[in-house]
Amino acid sequence: MTTSQNNANTTAPASKTEQVLAMLTREQGATLAEITELTGWLPHSARAALTGLRKKGHDITRTKRDEMTCYYIAEQA
């Protein structure tokens, strides 16, 4: 692999799932509206993605923020 190919791989944009994971690890987490805005997914697709992340072992917690449901992943101990 050449250096230019290696650099291309490290600067590639994160997948939508990786971006959602990054949002979920923020202190304030993410609302469904924030996830759909970021990804362009419909709400049912965003909820399905959350279910998929749970099946992969992520402990996603649901709380309320300003009367909206907020999802986040607690820091791993």
Judged against a pLDDT cut of 90, whether residue 13 lies above it is answered with: no
Q: Quick check: is 4 in a domain?
A: no
pTM of the full structure: 0.77
Does 11 score more than 70 pLDDT?
A: no
Domain that holds residue 66: 13-73
Residue 4, pLDDT above cutoff 90: no
pLDDT tens track for 18-58: 999 999 999 999 999 999 999 999 999 999 999 999 999 99
- 2 domain residue, yes or no: no
Number of domains in the chain: 1
> Could you tell me the CATH number of the domain that includes residue 40?
1.10.10.10
Burial call 25-45: b when 16+ CB within 10 Å, e when fewer: eeeebbbbebbbeebebeeee
